[in-house]
Amino acid sequence: MTTGATDMWDKLKDLAARETRIESLFAEDQTRAQSFSAQTGDMLFDYSKTAIDAAARDALLDLAAASGWEERRDAMFSGAPINETEGRAVLHTALRNLDGDPVLQDGTDVMPEVLAVLDRMARFADQFRASKITDVVNIGIGGSDLGPAMAARALSPYHDGPRVHFVSNVDGAHIADTLRGCDARTTLVIVASKTFTTIETMTNARTAKAWMVDQGGDPATQFAAVSTALDKTEAFGIPADRVFGFEDWVGGRYSMWGPIGLSLMIAIGPKAFRAFLRGGQEMDRHMRSAKGTDNMPLMLALVGIWHRQVCDYASRAVLPYDERLGRLPAYLQQLEMESNGKSVRMDGTRLDIPSGPIVWGEPGTNGQHAFYQLIHQGTDVIPCEFMVAANGHEADLGHHHDLLVANCFAQSEALMRGRDLDAARAKVADSFEGAELERQAAHRVFAGNRPSTTLIYPLLDPATLGQIIALYEHRVFIEGVILGINSYDQWGVELGKELATALGPVVTGEASAEDKDGSTRQLVAYRLAHRTSAT
């Protein structure tokens, strides 16, 4: 790290060491809520309930400027190979560039092909939406599963096509439980895999094919594929007219905007799918044009940097007050942790500050009755990222939504304000006295001063979901640039895959475990001793 950069981090650490009381920032600045928020369109991102004050924000903005994130952004959009360890461009934004402005990759405009594939997807989706098909089974994992699975659930009010199911796990339970509810004669299977080599997906795809043949369906007309590896889809026996290709400049966890989103498009229809893309495109435009504190992805990223790398909080909770965003935390886990969970910088040197945080969460209000205890009173500070719509889709259940919103706002207020010892004493004064009162009161103290942000929007419609996902993608990108890491590779997933391949014949007894460690040998021995069937 350069001396200048070290100084910036040191300055930020000093600013964090002041242990600012968040509530007092509101007392000092009547306009704090407005000035520590960013807005784009109807969407509001409020980060005023954090300890970031004007000095801290300026220092964070200096850090961002020094990282050269804007040049890096422009390089990304212009098709430069910013994924330097794999020598690839990062152009998932082209998939939502609906107006078709040229995007050059190696001197060739990718947009005609992108838009042609989108049109083909739409024709295909319309054809199956109007057919006898009752069920669509998307077989994929990681980036070939989480995006469409998350969005199909998020956008269920727009779902007017066949049922969609998502099978990812190599655990036979997943495909078995899914296919049990489907009729092989009216089911479309989409095999979604960027590489078309992923063991889970290929195993599930072969099982689904055998099931279809066995149950009277026709894989020749009821299978489709989404991949960058067209030779492999052909070898699997899927005719070219039912294969949707994309290029290696789309990372797996950034791929739901293109053909990987086919299952979603069949569920909600091409029009709603395009609205989703349009939302993403709007966020791209905002991220490319809004300056400084007006730039929502930049501010979301800087809040992330402040909490993880400056304040050293190890995790962040994503807490959507929206039941339909139940898979968003899992989606963001891949997006954020696979992108920024790196210990080595782009130049091969060691990262000497923390990598990206642990991302986790569940929808509210459910989490309130489960793990929020620790967020409020545990010894670790966990920055919370709340999100909520001003309106629900259930017009006749407006009172539910009122309660949902009230709970969301109450949590950020409670985290910030806490409850001091006097207030805790007052709570129990009627029931206890003396030493017992003190003891009981101590348990009811909330330290408060726990940071949170809130993202709020009118309604979770397709365009809004597109905005949210693109917002988080850009946040990950900017954080990655500031850390100096490559957010677009994932070498950390390789070793386990290699060892699993080697262990395949060991766990069936065909190969010896003798070169393994004692624990692995014990586990293999247990498995073989208790194995009831050889399949």
Ligand X SMILES: O=P(O)(O)OC[C@H]1O[C@H](O)[C@H](O)[C@@H](O)[C@@H]1O
Footprint on this chain of ligand X (rule: CB under 6 A) = 141-144, 193-195, 198, 201, 252-253, 338, 490, 493
Residue 432 in 3-state DSSP? coil
Selection from 275, 284, 368 nearest residue 321 by Cα = 368
- Least gap, CB of 498 to ligand X (angstroms): 12
Annotated active-site residue in 200, 338, 473, 479? 338
**Closer residue to ligand X in complex, CB, 143/451:** 143
Q: What is the CA radius of gyration of the chain?
A: 25
Annotated active-site residue in 132, 369, 443, 530? 369
Q: Which helix (H) or strand (E) holds 172?
A: helix 172-180
Q: Is 497 assigned a catalytic role?
A: yes
Residue 151 and residue 434: Cα distance in Å, rounded?
55
Q: Is 291 assigned a catalytic role?
A: no
- Least gap, CB of 60 to ligand X (angstroms): 29
- Least gap, CB of 379 to ligand X (angstroms): 33
Q: Is 369 assigned a catalytic role?
A: yes
What is the sign of the dihedral through the CA atoms of 206, 207, 210 and 213?
negative
- Least gap, CB of 370 to ligand X (angstroms): 28
**Closer residue to ligand X in complex, CB, 187/490:** 490
Residue 278 and residue 142: Cα distance in Å, rounded?
24
Q: Are 236 and 225 in contact (CB under 8 A)?
A: yes
Which residues of 16-76 form beta strands (DSSP E)? 37-40, 43-46
Which tokens go with 64? 């961002």
- Least gap, CB of 464 to ligand X (angstroms): 25
**Closer residue to ligand X in complex, CB, 81/341:** 341
Alpha-carbon separation of residue 94 from 41, 200, 257, 462 (angstroms): 21, 29, 9, 18
> C-alpha angle with apex 177: 174 to 181, nearest 5 degrees?
135
**Closer residue to ligand X in complex, CB, 195/391:** 195
Q: Which residues contact 75 (CB under 8 A, 6 or more apart)?
A: 82
- Least gap, CB of 66 to ligand X (angstroms): 30
Alpha-carbon separation of residue 319 from 261, 278, 457 (angstroms): 24, 25, 15
Which tokens go with 251? 């990372």
**Closer residue to ligand X in complex, CB, 260/381:** 260
Give the residue numbers annotated as catalytic, written as ranges: 338, 369, 497
